Amino acid sequence: MTTKTKDASLVSTKISTGYFCPITHQIIMTNCPFCNLEERVIASNDSANVLLSNPRKTAGHALVTPKRHVEKPWELTNKELQDIFALIWDVEQKLIKAGMGDGVDVRQNYRPFLKQSQLSVDHLHFHVLPRTLRDYIYSVSEKYDTELFADLDDTERAEVTKLLK
Ligand SMILES: [Zn+2]
């Protein structure tokens, strides 16, 4: 007779603890760096914060986060979405006006398969990256990006279109 036991390595070890803040009326996750920003916040509105990314990919690389601990982008309220994008557009214009970039990338990575680390924080955030044609990202990475593109075939087009319609 065999006994089935759960493989401990397959059980999620992610333990999150939090507490309710009576001032902001939000759950603060104690192990989340973006719930505990304190002096890192450089701008904010009702429901979102701006901070500088550390580490950063380009000078001026900023992050815009909801104040509330949200991990899945589709869990944002309409108010949070409005506040987040108001800050994104504000930061974007200031960075361009200051000459820190000729353009800006806005990017949100949802990658729950990565373990939280200094380079991967579960608390939803949008990267705002000032860009120029000759910045470091182009020189080490994006100049090779053309090799990533493949022609879209008809079967894939039909399948993905059906899925997303
Ligand atoms: Zn958080």
| Three-class SS state of 106 | strand
Tell which CATH architecture fits domain 38-144: 2-Layer Sandwich (3.30)
| Per-residue pLDDT at 8 | 40
73 alpha carbon – ligand 1 mean position (Å): 13
Q: Where are the domains of the chain?
A: 38-144
42 alpha carbon – ligand 1 mean position (Å): 17
| β-bridge partners, 51 | 63
- Over the stretch 103-152, which tens digit does the pLDDT of each residue have? 999 999 998 888 877 778 899 999 999 999 888 888 888 888 888 889 99
Banded model confidence at residue 70, pLDDT cuts 50, 70, 90: very high
Ramachandran area for residue 22 (φ above 0: left; ψ -120 to 50: alpha; else beta): alpha
Task: Give the sign of the dihedral formed by CA 38, CA 41, CA 43, CA 44.
Answer: negative
pTM of the model: 0.81
Residue 64 phi, psi dihedral angles, 5° rounding: -120, 125
**Prior bond of 55 cis (ω within 30°):** yes
141 alpha carbon – ligand 1 mean position (Å): 30
Is residue 4 pLDDT above 80, yes or no?
no
15 alpha carbon – ligand 1 mean position (Å): 13
Contact 89, 36 (CB under 8 A): no
